[in-house]
Every structure is written in structure tokens, then in C-alpha cells.
Amino acid sequence: MRFTALLLLATLVGALVCAQDTTTNDIQAATAKSSLSQSMIEKSFLLADKAFDGAEDKANERIQDGKQLAEGAADFIQKLRKILLDPRKFGFLSI
């Protein structure tokens, strides 16, 4: 367990060192070298945007389903409470 945590920390430190070595000028130069890479980046952003929109729609649907389920459960509990706690059913106890 400790070894795994140390390995994770070492990986994070290595990533930070590599990120620090890379300057924004290097990144800009690498992306500006070819228009193909630029168009691929734009396409990947568009695809990611569509994927997030789809995921957001699905999440909203699931939230609505959950709300309907909760409302239905609350109605069921109230109906069950009325049925089980009906004072007319306990009338025979007052004899």
C-alpha cells in the first residue's frame, strides 16, 4: 500500500518536472508546425464537446428519472401508511 502511494507521488513529481520544462513557446511551436495537427486538435475539441453534451443530456435524464422514482416512492409510502394506520381497522380493539 505504501509502495503504491510512493509510486503515485513519484509519478506526479515526474509529471510536474516535465511540465515545468515545457514552455508555452515550445507548445505553440509544436502546434504551429503543421496545419494538420491544428485541424486534428480542433476536431478533437469538437468531438469532446459533443461527447460532453451527450453525457450531460444523459445525466439530466437520469436525474429526472431519479426524481420521478423518489416522488413515486413517497406517494407509495403515504398510501401504505393510510392503509396500515387506518383507525377503522383497529376498532375491534376498543371492545
Phi, psi for 34 (deg, rounded to 5): -135, 140
Distance CA(18)–CA(11), nearest Å, equals: 11
Residue 86 has pLDDT above 70, yes or no: yes
How does pLDDT run across 51-76, given as a tens digit for each residue?
888 888 888 889 999 999 999 998 99
Report the pLDDT value the prediction gives residue 68, as an integer from 0 to 100. Answer: 92
Q: What is the CA radius of gyration of the chain?
A: 30
pLDDT of residue 53: 83
Q: Is 22 or 5 the better-scoring residue by pLDDT?
A: 5
